[in-house]
């Protein structure tokens, strides 16, 4: 298991653990194109969170009850899923590691930015540009952890759910890294 990856421990075989945006940052970094320092919280942490909080089936049930001809049901579903993420707890070992990386990066900058990097979001068949949330100017550990959860939840935003429905893509995503 690799909960966090940097340019130093990523290779092409691991792209499914880091998502589209992180893959592109890796390529830019490897080609010596200047990008801010970064790391990616991998799909392993997301999966641990989902498992610890037993929310996979809850998400499937919520999604199953969406009537895409009624926008209110899409919004309600999205809000229910977001609540599951915000109320869930990140497993202690993962939380400790996330907070250590947060502090390590904060030694060089006052603020952090967090972005979702969902696996398959910039696929040849579909692009999720602008559909998931980003969080800027994060300066406190509490808001850092909350922003990680909000990045995960944003994969189930009403606009992302509608886009996946219209594009005939799976509604339940199980691979959501965060940069």
CATH number of residue 152's parent domain? 3.30.1490.20
Q: How many domains does the chain have?
A: 1
Residue 64 has pLDDT above 60, yes or no: yes
- With respect to residue 171, please indicate whether it lies within any of the assigned structural domains: no
Query: Average pLDDT, whole number, for the chain?
Result: 87
Q: What is the pLDDT, as a whole number, of residue 124?
A: 46
Decide: pTM greater than 0.85: yes
Average the pLDDT over 90-112 and give the result.
89
Sorting pLDDT into bands at 50, 70 and 90, what band is 125? Answer: low
Residues of the chain above pLDDT 90, percent: 55
The CA-CA-CA angle for residues 123, 119, 67, to 5°, reads 85
Structure confidence at residue 98 as a pLDDT band (50, 70, 90): very high
Let me know if 125 is exposed, middle or buried by CB neighbors in 10 A (0-12, 13-18, 19+): exposed
Whether 73 maps to a domain, the answer reads yes
Q: Is residue 98, in this structure, part of any structural domain at all?
A: yes
Domain, as residue range, for 71: 4-166
- Asked if pLDDT for residue 178 goes beyond 70, the answer is yes
In the predicted model, is pLDDT for residue 121 greater than 60?
Answer: no
173 within a domain of the structure (yes/no):
no
β-partners of residue 98 are none
């Amino acid at each position: 298991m690799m909960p966090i990856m940097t340019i130093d421990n990523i290779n092409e075989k691991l792209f499914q653990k880091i998502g589209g945006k992180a893959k592109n940052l890796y390529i830019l970094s490897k080609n010596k194109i200047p990008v801010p320092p970064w790391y990616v919280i991998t799909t392993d942490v997301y999966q641990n969170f989902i498992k610890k909080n037993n929310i996979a089936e809850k998400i499937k049930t919520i999604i199953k009850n969406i009537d895409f001809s009624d926008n209110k049901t899409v919004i309600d579903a999205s809000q229910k899923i977001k609540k599951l993420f915000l109320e869930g707890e990140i497993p202690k070992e993962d939380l400790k590691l996330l907070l250590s990386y947060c502090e390590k990066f904060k030694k060089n900058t006052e603020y952090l930015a967090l972005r979702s990097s969902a696996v398959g979001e910039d696929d040849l068949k579909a692009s999720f540009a602008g559909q998931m949330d980003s969080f800027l100017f994060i300066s406190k550990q509490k808001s850092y952890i909350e922003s990680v959860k909000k990045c995960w939840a944003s994969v189930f935003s009403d606009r992302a759910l509608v886009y996946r429905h219209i594009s005939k893509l799976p509604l339940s995503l199980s691979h959501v890294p965060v940069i």
